[in-house]
C-alpha cells in the first residue's frame, strides 16, 4: 500500500488543483477554487499565521468553524459560505484520493455543510414571470442580449453563462443541443424548445453559420484566444448581464434580484411544479447528487409550506 504523506501543505495543493483545472479549461472550477484560496489566505493573515505552513491536518472541525465565523463577520450570506465549504470539501477529497492525507483526519464528518440555511433567499421565479420577461420590449442590443441569454438558460436546462459563451453551432444539431459543461465535464444532450430555437435563429446572421462560430456574441474568434483572455471576457460580460437583468426585473415588475442563476433555479422549480421527480430533475441539470437539486428547490418547498398554512 502506498505511503500517505502526513504533512501536505494546503496552499501548495490548492495551486496544483487550480493549475490542473486551468489546463483542462475547467475555468469555472479554477475560478471558484481561486476565490476559496483568497478567503483562506485572508483568514490565515487575520489570525497572524503563516499561510504557507497550513497543513491538511490543521483543517479540523474547530478550524472550519473559526473560518465560518470569520466569513460571517465579513458579511457573507450563508449560501455563499456553503459554496466556500463545498469547494474546500472537494479539495480535501481530492487530497485523500491522491493519498496525500489520511481519511481519519477528514473534518467534514463532524463539520456539516447542511448547517447553512440555503432557504433564506428566493432564487426562482414563476412561469408567469418568465413570460413577462419574454414579453418585454427593450431598447438596446445589450438589454436584448441579456433578455435572450436569460431566457435561453431557462429553456436550456439551466445552462450557465460560461457554457452559453462557449456554445458554437456544432453544439446545435438536428434540433438538439449537445455540450459538455465546463465546470463538471457532464455531457448534456436535449431537445431544444421552439422559443430556444427562435433565439438561436435571431443571432445567426450576426455570429455566422459556421460550425465553429460562437452562437452568441460574447466571445470573438481571433480576439479572445488564450484561456485568460476568454476568462476575463466572460467575467466582464457576466457582470454586464447581471446589471442588465436587474433593469429587466424592474421593467417586468419582478421583486427578485434577477441573476443568471435565477434562470437555473427557475428551470428546476418549473419542472417540480409540473410533477417531475427530483431524481429526473437532478439528471436534467447534471447534478452529482439529489441533495444539490434539493438546494435549487428550496424556495419551492417554502412555497408549499406557505400554501399549506393558507389552507388551514
- pLDDT single digits (tens) 7-49: 678 999 999 999 998 888 887 788 889 989 999 999 998 888 8
> DSSP readout, 82-112?
HHHHHHHHHHHHHHHHTTSS-GGG-GGGTS-
Q: What's residue 64's pLDDT?
A: 93
**Residue tagged 452529482 (cell numbers):** 288
Of residues 214, 210, 240, the one with CA closest to residue 225? 214
Q: What's residue 288's pLDDT?
A: 53
Phi (first) and psi of residue 173, to 5 degrees: -140, 130
- Where does 51-193 have alpha helices with state H? 61-73, 78-97, 127-134, 141-155, 161-166
Q: What's residue 287's pLDDT?
A: 54
With residues binned 3-state (H G I as helix, E B as strand, rest as coil), the percentages for the chain, rounded to 5, are 60, 5, 30
187: β partners: 180
Mean pLDDT for back-to-back runs of 10 residues, the chain (312 residues): 62 92 83 90 89 91 90 80 90 92 92 72 77 92 94 88 90 86 75 90 82 89 86 87 91 86 80 67 58 54 42 36
Amino acid at each position: 500500500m502506498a505511503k500517505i504523506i502526513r504533512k501536505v501543505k494546503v496552499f501548495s495543493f490548492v495551486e496544483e488543483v487550480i493549475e490542473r483545472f486551468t489546463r483542462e479549461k475547467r475555468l469555472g472550477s479554477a475560478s471558484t477554487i481561486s476565490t476559496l484560496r483568497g478567503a483562506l489566505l485572508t483568514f490565515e493573515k487575520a489570525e497572524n499565521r503563516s499561510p504557507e505552513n497550513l497543513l491538511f491536518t490543521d483543517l479540523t472541525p474547530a478550524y472550519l468553524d473559526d473560518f465560518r465565523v470569520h466569513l460571517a463577520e465579513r458579511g457573507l450570506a450563508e449560501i455563499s459560505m456553503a459554496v466556500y465549504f463545498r469547494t474546500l470539501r472537494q479539495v480535501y477529497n481530492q487530497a485523500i484520493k491522491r493519498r496525500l492525507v489520511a481519511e481519519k483526519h477528514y473534518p467534514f464528518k463532524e463539520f456539516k455543510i447542511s448547517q447553512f440555511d440555503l432557504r433564506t433567499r428566493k432564487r426562482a421565479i414563476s412561469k408567469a414571470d418568465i413570460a413577462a420577461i419574454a414579453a418585454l420590449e427593450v431598447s438596446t442590443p445589450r438589454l436584448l442580449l441579456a433578455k435572450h441569454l436569460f431566457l435561453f438558460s431557462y429553456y436550456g436546462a439551466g445552462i450557465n453563462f460560461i457554457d452559453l459563451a462557449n456554445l458554437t453551432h456544432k453544439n446545435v444539431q438536428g434540433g438538439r443541443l449537445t455540450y459538455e459543461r465546463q465546470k463538471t465535464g457532464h455531457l448534456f444532450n436535449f431537445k431544444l424548445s421552439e422559443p430556444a430555437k427562435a433565439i438561436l435563429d435571431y443571432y445567426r446572421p450576426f455570429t455566422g453559420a459556421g460550425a465553429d462560430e460562437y452562437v452568441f456574441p460574447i466571445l470573438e474568434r481571433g480576439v479572445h484566444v488564450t484561456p485568460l483572455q476568454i476568462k476575463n471576457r466572460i467575467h466582464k460580460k457576466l457582470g454586464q448581464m447581471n446589471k442588465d437583468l436587474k433593469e429587466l426585473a424592474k421593467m417586468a415588475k419582478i421583486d427578485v434580484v434577477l441573476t443568471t442563476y435565477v434562470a437555473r433555479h427557475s428551470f428546476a422549480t418549473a419542472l417540480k411544479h409540473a410533477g417531475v421527480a427530483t431524481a429526473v430533475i437532478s439528471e436534467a441539470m447534471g447534478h452529482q447528487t439529489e441533495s444539490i437539486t434539493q438546494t435549487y428547490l428550496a424556495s419551492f418547498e417554502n412555497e408549499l409550506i406557505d400554501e399549506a398554512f393558507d389552507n388551514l
